[in-house]
Amino acid sequence: MSLYSNWTDMVVEYVKTKGEKAFWDEYSAIETKIYKDLLADHKNVKKVVISNLAKEYNTTEEFIMGFVDGINDSLNNPYDLESVDSNTELVFDINLEKLYFNMLDAKADYLYNLPQWDGIFSVEKRHEIEKEYKDSKTVRNENKVGRNDLCPCGSGKKYKKCCGK
């Protein structure tokens, strides 16, 4: 069984036995510590092995795998998570704009409000990324059907006489 499968199974079991709040409290505390360190040293690409990172942050390899799962989409070279094991060397070459965007998308205010972001992006840049995020969630219907156009349902009637009633 892969470390990624162990992570997903562990989450299910943890939530069943201790509850969802307890899981998020523990996981977010670990995640926050790691992100603080990564963002504080954002100019250097960190190379790590999951087992060593687990020891460094005094947690399990499964929780570290969860962190890798969370950051994976923000890496310049994402990993096939099913093939990652305890001894795989990971290179955290992070696309910081994408990371900030993904934190907004995850609604992880405990992460995108970290003070370490102050040394990375200006307030204006963060607002720009936030605007881009909000715009990505806005649905716009570009092809508006006019009342005298043919109905898009394919009936051959004008929209106003068909589906536009």
DSSP string, the chain: --HHHHHHHHHHHHHHHH-HHHHHHHHHHHHHHHHHHHHHTTTS-EEEEHHHHHHHTTS-HHHHHHHHHHHGGGBSS---GGG--TT-EEEE-B-HHHHHHHHHHTT-HHHHT-GGGGGTS-HHHHHHHHHHHHHHH-----SPPPTTSBPTTSSSSBGGGTTT-
Question: Which pLDDT score, from 0 to 100, does residue 144 have?
Answer: 83
Tell me the domain boundaries of the chain. 3-137
**Tens of pLDDT, residue by residue, the chain (165 residues):** 799 999 999 999 999 999 999 999 999 999 999 999 999 999 999 999 999 999 999 999 999 999 999 999 999 999 999 999 999 999 999 999 999 999 999 999 999 999 999 999 999 999 999 999 998 888 777 778 888 989 888 899 998 899 887
pTM of the model: 0.81
